Amino acid sequence: MNEGEREIKVLHLLNYPGNGGTERAILSLIEKLGGRGCSFSVACGMDGPMKGELAALGTPVYTLPMRSPFDFGAVRALRRLCAEQGIDIVHTHFMRENFIACLARNKKASFAIVNSVTMMTGKRGLTRIFNNAVTKKNSRVICASEAVRRVQASEGIPERKLEVVYPGAEYIPPEGADIERLRESLRLPKDAFVVASLARFRGEKGHDLALEAIRVFYGLYGEEAQSRVPVHFVLAGEGELLEEYRARVRNLGLGDSVHLPGHLPDTFALLGLSNLLISHSHEESFGLSIVEGLTAGLPVAASACDGPQEILGGQNCGLLTPKGDAKALAEAIHKLATDKPYYHELSRAAPLRAAAFTKEDNAHKTLEIYKYAVHERERVLHK
């Protein structure tokens, strides 16, 4: 922070503080900008695992129930909280929270609003009309990718408000003991070629495609691949469909080679023991897990959604397969598991591509947006 500049007080508004990409993005901003231009607090609608991580960082957390996008009790509570804490910016991450923040911001409310958008799903009817109306109060709309920016622009959000800021990732090499503990807990052979996935078990994340690709892989190449090196799949993540997919893996008789451990707090250990990352979403605005894999030197085989195409398209660090094509994904996995020269070529290029998506760059661009938002709000207040 330059001399004479005051610290910007930012409140992140998040209904459920879980373990997803949004939560990782918030924690990254707190780690990178806290005490270096910004101070942070978080208001949550309910309890969730992220609260423990916020407590470890010493970040103030407030409880602010948000029953719907039009919860006027939440609107009044947010207005009071921002006044009491002298909040400069409310940073919202989903439509419910953004509606509440925009309804709370009136002529007497001195905070600005920055809204991050990561969803590709278009809005229709009254939802679209209301969203366009409230977004007029957003100083900036941070888009997770060019694909997201295009969707927002197509829905009538003014281009001047839209700014692409890619999420950032970093890789901290884990201790060998941490890798071995995870390997043992998953019962992975030491010589296994490990194919990893990091995604919540939700419909749009495409675990149906992943499981079908795995079934096809073993059907086409199982005997050949296993004779060279055992191939194992670790699909890590939590979510409402996790138990359903565990049952499907058992019913297919794949339980010895396909592992669904749920949420793994030590992502670095999983990346450290893996050889390949797969991304199988039916819809993906960016693909933070892809960048996380690249940072660890893992080639990526990904279904060609909008976000993965922005990361991998034209780059020599992974393979894009047609959306929904399980056989093509199985073939890509086989190619990277068996063609060692090609695998190592992509592995060497992976960290170079990941360098375009750093947490430092994400934090720097977000700080500039915060500064602009504060300046814009102060200009309006002093008219």
In CATH terms, the fold of domain 8-168+359-381 is Rossmann fold (3.40.50)
CA 273 to chain centroid, in Å, comes to 21
Structure tokens at 262: 């749920």
Judge whether 49 and 76 are in contact, CB under 8 Å: no
Identify the pLDDT of residue 226. Answer: 62
Question: What is the mean pLDDT of the segment spanning 251-271?
Answer: 94
Question: What is the mean pLDDT of the segment spanning 128-146?
Answer: 88
Sorted by where each begins, the domain ranges of the chain are 8-168+359-381, 176-354
Q: Is the pLDDT of residue 383 over 70?
A: no
Q: Do the domains at 8-168+359-381 and 176-354 have one common CATH topology?
A: yes
Average pLDDT along the chain = 92
- CA-wise closest residue to 97 among 211, 11, 193: 11
Q: Is the pLDDT of residue 225 over 70?
A: no
381: confidence class by pLDDT, cuts 50, 70, 90: low
Q: In whole angstroms, what is the distance from residue 82 CA to residue 126 CA? A: 29
Other Cβ atoms within 10 Å of 140 Cβ, number: 23
Q: What is the pTM of this model?
A: 0.90
Identify the pLDDT of residue 306. Answer: 92
32: confidence class by pLDDT, cuts 50, 70, 90: very high
Question: What is the mean pLDDT of the segment spanning 48-66?
Answer: 95
Q: Is the pLDDT of residue 136 over 90?
A: no
Question: What is the mean pLDDT of the segment spanning 158-167?
Answer: 95
377: confidence class by pLDDT, cuts 50, 70, 90: confident
Q: In whole angstroms, what is the distance from residue 75 CA to residue 82 CA? A: 11
CA dist 261 → 50, 180, 182 (Å): 19, 16, 10
Structure tokens at 8: 């910007």
Other Cβ atoms within 10 Å of 355 Cβ, number: 11
Q: What is the CATH number of domain 176-354?
A: 3.40.50.2000
Tens of pLDDT along 64-88?
Answer: 999 999 999 999 999 999 999 999 9
128: confidence class by pLDDT, cuts 50, 70, 90: confident
Q: In whole angstroms, what is the distance from residue 218 CA to residue 10 CA? A: 50
Question: What is the mean pLDDT of the segment spanning 354-382?
Answer: 90
Q: What percent of the chain has pLDDT over 90?
A: 83
131: confidence class by pLDDT, cuts 50, 70, 90: confident
